[in-house]
Amino acid sequence: GQQVMQIPQYQHVQEGEDFTTYCNSSTTLSNIQWYKQRPGGHPVFLIQLVKSGEVKKQKRLTFQFGEAKKNSSLHITATQTTDVGTYFCAGMENNAGNMLTFGGGTRLMVKP
Amino acid sequence: NAGVTQTPKFRILKIGQSMTLQCAQDMNHNYMYWYRQDPGMGLKLIYYSVGAGITDKGEVPNGYNVSRSTTEDFPLRLELAAPSQTSVYFCASSYPGWRREGGSPLHFGNGTRLTVT
């Protein structure tokens, strides 16, 4: 079945440093979604990418979808303590209804 | 709107006991899902439903059952609790008609933290 891998599993950064998490799917995706889960909280939807090579920005967050629609990345510029949490990518295959396969997540810790 | 409401927030079960995790949404979403999240891990799909009366297995359905008698409610039943079912359980819902292309975002409840000892 489809597998979605995320690296790194953990990342410690100093406040103000940049952060990137990478997501790779074993199959071609129809779309990819990104979620953020604060410690002790529930996942919250951030964004969806649909088109090959798509790049979307949300303030300091930049999301990319690979040309082959099998990989994606999330880059945070100048991290802040409010960025702490676990970032999950979730991939959806073609003709999969609305079924998502989640990656294992990247836990971001920010030192003030 | 309350969104997705899960009860209880916490529960401790003894091995072999049974319980039902409740999930309700007031957004008139067709699709509902149950995920489990083990410590430090991602989300695994247990069961899902595309509408009232329709349910299907996800990636890790063994040891669980679901029903969907109404659009709003999607309870998850554990019949014979085992230590391997210690986890945080998240219910989610989505509305597939949300976009013309791509998928629909999932709206998650706050989770139920279950410990089986």
Q: What is the pLDDT of residues A61-95, one digit of tens each?
A: 999 999 999 999 999 999 999 999 999 999 998 77
Give dist(CA A80, CA A83) in Å, integer: 5
Give dist(CA B89, CA B114) in Å, integer: 7
CB A48 within 8 A of CB A33: yes
CB B34 within 8 A of CB B68: no
Test A30 with B96 for CB contact under 8 angstroms. no
Whether pLDDT at B93 is above 60: yes
Is B43 part of the contact surface with chain A (CB cutoff 8 Å)?
A: yes
Residue burial A35-52, b: 16+ Cβ < 10 Å; e: rest: bbbeeeebbebbbbbbee
Smallest Cβ–Cβ distance between B102 and the set A1, A48, A102 belongs to: A48
Residue A33, both tokens: 């979604």
Residues within 8 A of B (CB atoms), A 1-60 only: 1, 6, 30-31, 33, 35, 41-45, 48, 50
Is B11 part of the contact surface with chain A (CB cutoff 8 Å)?
A: no
Ramachandran angles phi, psi of B96, nearest 5°? -60, -20
What separation, in Å, do the N-terminal and C-terminal C-alpha atoms of chain B show? 36
pLDDT tens-place string over residues B46-79: 999 999 999 999 999 999 999 999 999 999 999 9
